[in-house]
A = this chain, B = another copy of it.
């Protein structure tokens, strides 16, 4: 499971990068806390961070279940697809929300495979 642990760590470093970007845009455009809007570049950085929270909520438990019950190396590989998809999503969205599609699709694809695979693996382990 070390490979899964390392990929989780990479995904969290990437997410940390998104949080730093959001904080930096808050400062650059003087969006005083607690406001969550007021400048388009800040709002895009905010939504990149929060959409990543939405997806990490599925990703982290699912990669652990998939890695534990099916295959740790395959889970780690799917996790790298997730990390790549998030980078594409963020870099696109920061420029223009209309460019967020492809990276979003990769994220969803890897999350769905990890989640369904993790459930199937746990059911097989319980049944067998």
Which residues of A line the B interface, CB within 8 A? 2-3, 5-6, 8-10, 12-13, 15-16, 19, 32-37, 40, 43-44, 46-47, 49, 53-54, 56-58, 60-62, 65, 68-69, 93, 97, 100, 111-112, 115, 118-119, 122-123, 125-126
Chain B residues whose C-beta falls within 8 Å of the C-beta of A5 in the assembled complex: 65, 68-69, 118-119, 122
Is the pair A119, B34 in contact by a Cβ cutoff of 8 Å? no
Cross-chain pairs A/B with CB under 8 angstroms, 27 sampled: A2-B123, A5-B65, A5-B119, A5-B122, A6-B119, A6-B122, A8-B65, A9-B115, A12-B58, A12-B62, A12-B115, A13-B115, A15-B58, A16-B111, A16-B112, A16-B115, A32-B97, A33-B47, A34-B46, A34-B47, A36-B36, A36-B47, A49-B54, A53-B53, A53-B54, A56-B57, A57-B57
Chain B residues whose C-beta falls within 8 Å of the C-beta of A53 in the assembled complex: 53-54, 57
Partner of A126, one of B6, B8, B13, B34: B6
Copies, count: 3
Q: How far is the CA of A69 from the CA of B6 in the complex (A)?
A: 11
